Amino acid sequence: MPDSALSERPGDRTHALFVVCVLAAASLVIAVLAAAPSRVSARELLGDTRTPGDAAFIASHRGGAANAPENTLPAIAAALSSGFDYVEVDVALTLDGHPVLMHDATVDRTTDGHGRVAELTLAEVRELDAGSWFSADYAGTRVPTLEEFLDALAPSGGRAIVELKGEWDAASIDAALAGVAARDLEHRVALASFDARSLALAAAASDVVSRLLILKHLPSDVVSAVAEADARGVVVSRKAVLARPGIVDELHAVDARVVVYTLNDDAHWDAVTALGVDGIVTDDPHTLFEWQRAYAGSD
């Protein structure tokens, strides 16, 4: 047995305390890392890269806009209940900084109100009728908040592409991502935007939630643009892809995905499916689904 007197020397006690502290710190780091959600891979979120002729995933545009007023809870419920791969919605900020579902810069087209979303308070937006323009059956339907959308998405098991309209500040991005995390949706929601700064703020705020860069026109080096945005891929116009079909292979080579918007007829679906794009945003997801089944059966 060791000499008890020697084992009680101050140096020994200090060394033992140091070892205990190091082990405790290491355990804490391991626990934090184990609890922290890992970054979502492109494969996990968007599936494997497609090859020419493969069925692309379907994103129901502006909720279920073919069946109910776009970007409203009835439209979202219709899309989620149909089981499409993604529901796509647009989110804009009100004057007082609240995110609401609205595609246009103004409320004129899809509500009974007038004016820019950015110049109306949340209370003013919530007073608007967002359903009567579509059908009398939806009279009184309100403009939903992002929180209400996430509440509908969470229990459904569905996934979403959330387009951030306009420019977002850091506080608004942080709040939106906190809402996503609070509902355990970080692996089921992708943020998309034309605005690279908004995506950069999202990247700084979350290591987990994926981002997609929306492009109407393709930069000369699209691979670098995606890398600089730290995005999982692009949401791009059909015309841009057809003008440069080689970008599909270029982006697939760096494990990025190509989603094309907004295609509503079989000629357009055929052209991009033949290129092997990964996703199609459409106002008519039911018909696209049936078309994909027929396309697969024709092989």
3-state secondary structure of 116: strand
Read off the pLDDT of residues 117-167 as tens digits, 9 standing for 90 and up.
Answer: 999 999 999 999 999 999 999 999 999 999 999 999 999 999 999 999 999
> Above 80 in pLDDT, residue 24?
no
Which of 147, 96, 146 is closest to 121 using CA atoms?
96
- For residues 42 and 257, the answer to whether their CB atoms sit within 8 Å is yes
pTM: 0.86
219 or 35, which is more confident?
219
- What interhelical angle do 73-82 and 146-153 show, nearest 10? 20
Beta bridge partners of 261: 237
Distance CA 241, CA 234 (A): 11
Question: What's the pLDDT score for residue 299?
Answer: 63
C-alpha to C-alpha distances, 234 to 57, 136, 158, 215, nearest whole angstrom: 14, 37, 21, 7
* Residue given tokens 């979502």 in the structure block: 40
- For residues 288 and 280, the answer to whether their CB atoms sit within 8 Å is yes
Per-residue pLDDT band at 40 (split at 50, 70, 90): confident
3-state secondary structure of 145: strand
Read off the pLDDT of residues 186-214 as tens digits, 9 standing for 90 and up.
Answer: 999 999 999 999 999 999 999 999 999 99
Question: What's the pLDDT score for residue 39?
Answer: 75
Distance CA 237, CA 259 (A): 9
| 190-193: long-range contacts, CB 8 A cutoff, minimum separation 24 | 190/45, 190/46, 190/159, 190/160, 190/161, 190/162, 190/232, 191/162, 191/164, 192/161, 192/162, 192/163, 192/164, 192/235, 193/163, 193/164, 193/165, 193/168
**Degrees, nearest 5: CA angle 75-261-199:** 90
**Which two tokens mark 168?**
């977002």
Question: What's the pLDDT score for residue 3?
Answer: 42
Per-residue pLDDT band at 12 (split at 50, 70, 90): low
3-state secondary structure of 40: coil
3-state secondary structure of 179: helix
